[in-house]
């Protein structure tokens, strides 16, 4: 079947059952009251009803194999988790695809300050509100509804379609567990609402890598039992005074990398391909102005483009701070301690790739507009299939806003764009996998 024919048929089917798609998303929002297992059970039920063979895979995040990625144990989920894996077998002769999204959201805050009930799935002004609706229940709902809509349109994919509802928050590594557990395909698509305000007209096809680390500077408190240190300050090594040469070293590293490290897509989009951000500086004391803190901590994040190795970036950070300590006697006597908290490697799909062409065409047919690439979502999960298994991957999703993880309230997804997204993903299945009457 031609691409326009596939798109027209799934668009009609999506329009006819649009309220059912919204009802399913509202189900997922409401079920969060009962926990992640309840959400996953509903996902499994709906995927089975859409014709998929469903299984649940249990795993522990700390035991999952990783390539070009790490996370400190303190930042990682430790409890056993469950990934829902649903397969819609193709009729044969087509390309396969994995759609994945995560059912887990930010930890619920009872004092949330929302105007809407976080677990009611209220629709107000064309937006559906709910805890985690944009991060990432709408993505989970989209992939299940897309398979259902394809069936309702009387179409069957030629290639296998795999749906994966996989925990992700706090390095839960659900998609990693599946990828290293034998799940593979010719392509992958990460379904997540678009935080940039563009919605379904945007595709993530490039994800910079990111290294997150802390620098701890330890001083020496003055030799006194007095509660106040002010009179003895000259006898102490105040770690606050060790901060300026460290900041200078990190700024020099950032400037040097900015001049040296170039990626054409990032340079065009933002005028820079790598950045080092010092996001937080705090004294590790009791906060009193009259006491010398035992240590000061700088929390930093460094974004780097696809093509750079994570280990090489780590080595640059270590060398910059080692050189700073060698050049400053006080810092040399109290050398900086570096704690690498997490790191992921960047990845990309070129605009010459068949997956980009199929995705772009599905978006164009579904929205009337050719999509644009968002290359600025650092460490996006689109990297996972590419880095872990060499599977090309893009990401897209409907318009959203006020995300809880960004400090927002009344997190929402645009209802019309969510419905549109279901039709786009159903069309993408037809375009990538091939489709026939069925």
* pLDDT score, position 77: 72
* pLDDT score, position 76: 76
Look at residue 318 and tell me whether its pLDDT is greater than 90.
yes
* pLDDT score, position 368: 95
Residue 44's nearest CA partner among 31, 34, 55, 58 is 55
Token pair of 411 as six digits: 């997190």
* pLDDT score, position 245: 98
User: Which residues of the chain are in CATH 3.30.70.360 domains?
Assistant: 209-344
User: Which residues of the chain are in CATH 3.40.630.10 domains?
Assistant: 3-67+77-207+347-437
CB half-sphere exposure, 424, CA atoms < 13 A = 33
* pLDDT score, position 8: 96
* pLDDT score, position 196: 85
Q: Specify the DSSP class assigned to residue 409.
A: S
CB of 419 closer than 8 Å to CB of 362: no
Separation in Å, CA 93 to CA 90, 188, 249, 376: 8, 18, 56, 36
Between CA 314 and CA 180 the distance in angstroms is 25
CB count in 10 Å sphere of residue 245: 19
* pLDDT score, position 438: 81
403 phi, psi to nearest 5 deg: -65, 135
CB of 180 closer than 8 Å to CB of 343: no
**E-assigned strand segments in 102-195:** 123-124, 127-129, 155-157, 161-165, 188-191
Separation in Å, CA 334 to CA 244, 282, 325, 430: 14, 17, 8, 61
Between CA 47 and CA 87 the distance in angstroms is 9
Q: pLDDT confidence of 1, banded at 50, 70, 90?
A: confident
Q: pLDDT confidence of 194, banded at 50, 70, 90?
A: confident
CB of 303 closer than 8 Å to CB of 275: yes
Between CA 180 and CA 15 the distance in angstroms is 37
- pLDDT single digits (tens) 356-367: 999 999 999 999
Q: What is the mean pLDDT of residues 168-187?
A: 96
Between CA 163 and CA 97 the distance in angstroms is 9
Look at residue 285 and tell me whether its pLDDT is greater than 80.
yes
Look at residue 330 and tell me whether its pLDDT is greater than 90.
yes
Between CA 269 and CA 378 the distance in angstroms is 13
Instruction: Output the pTM of the full model.
Output: 0.94
What percentage of residues in the chain have a pLDDT greater than 70?
100
Beta-carbon contacts of residue 118 (< 8 Å; ≥ 6 apart): 108, 112, 129, 130, 131
Between CA 307 and CA 301 the distance in angstroms is 18
Domain covering 209-344 in this structure, CATH number:
3.30.70.360
- pLDDT single digits (tens) 120-157: 999 999 999 999 999 999 999 999 999 999 999 999 99
Residue 43's nearest CA partner among 120, 145, 123, 117 is 145
Beta-carbon contacts of residue 233 (< 8 Å; ≥ 6 apart): 222, 292
User: Mean pLDDT in the chain?
Assistant: 96
* pLDDT score, position 197: 86
**E-assigned strand segments in 305-363:** 337-344, 347-348
Q: pLDDT confidence of 79, banded at 50, 70, 90?
A: confident
Q: What is the number of residues in the chain?
A: 438
Look at residue 102 and tell me whether its pLDDT is greater than 90.
yes
Architecture of domain 3-67+77-207+347-437: 3-Layer(aba) Sandwich (3.40)
Alpha helices in 180-309 (DSSP H): 243-260, 264-270
């Amino acid at each position: 079947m031609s691409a326009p024919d596939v798109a027209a048929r799934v668009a009609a089917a999506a329009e006819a059952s649009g309220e059912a798609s919204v009802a399913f998303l509202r189900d997922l929002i409401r079920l969060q009251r009962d926990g992640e297992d309840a959400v996953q059970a509903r996902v499994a039920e709906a995927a089975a009803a859409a014709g998929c063979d469903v299984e649940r895979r249990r795993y522990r995040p700390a035991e999952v194999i990783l390539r070009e990625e790490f996370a400190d144990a303190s930042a990682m989920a430790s409890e056993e988790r469950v990934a829902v894996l649903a397969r819609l077998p193709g009729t044969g002769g087509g390309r396969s695809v994995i759609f994945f999204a995560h059912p887990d959201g930010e930890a619920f805050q009872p004092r949330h300050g929302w105007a809407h009930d976080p677990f009611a799935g209220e629709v107000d002004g064309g937006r559906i509100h709910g805890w985690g609706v944009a991060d990432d229940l709408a993505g989970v709902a989209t992939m299940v509804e897309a398979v259902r809509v394809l069936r309702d349109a009387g179409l069957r994919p030629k290639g296998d379609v795999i749906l994966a509802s996989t925990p992700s928050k706090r390095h839960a590594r659900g998609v990693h567990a599946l990828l290293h557990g034998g799940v593979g395909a010719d392509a992958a698509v990460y379904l997540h609402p678009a935080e940039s305000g563009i919605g379904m007209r945007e595709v993530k096809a490039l994800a910079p890598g990111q290294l997150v680390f802390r620098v701890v500077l330890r001083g020496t408190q003055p030799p006194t039992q007095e509660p106040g240190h002010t009179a003895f300050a000259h006898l102490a090594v105040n770690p606050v005074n060790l901060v300026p040469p460290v900041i200078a070293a990190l700024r020099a590293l950032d400037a040097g990398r900015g001049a040296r490290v170039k990626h054409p897509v990032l340079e065009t989009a933002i005028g820079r391909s790598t950045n080092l951000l010092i996001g937080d500086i705090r004294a590790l004391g009791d906060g009193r102005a009259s006491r010398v803190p035992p240590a000061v901590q700088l929390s930093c994040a460094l974004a780097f483009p696809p093509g750079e190795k994570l280990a090489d970036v780590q080595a640059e950070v270590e060398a910059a701070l080692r050189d700073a300590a060698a050049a400053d006697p006080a810092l040399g006597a109290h050398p900086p301690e570096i704690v690498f908290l997490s790191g992921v490697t960047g990845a990309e799909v070129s605009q010459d790739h068949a997956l980009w062409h199929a995705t772009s065409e599905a978006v164009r047919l579904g929205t009337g507009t050719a999509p644009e690439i968002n290359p600025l979502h650092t460490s996006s999960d689109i990297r996972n299939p590419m880095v872990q298994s060499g599977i090309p991957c893009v990401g897209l999703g409907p318009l959203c806003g006020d995300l809880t993880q960004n400090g927002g309230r009344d997190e929402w997804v645009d209802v019309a764009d969510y419905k549109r997204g279901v039709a786009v993903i159903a069309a993408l299945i037809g375009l990538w996998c091939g489709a026939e009457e069925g």
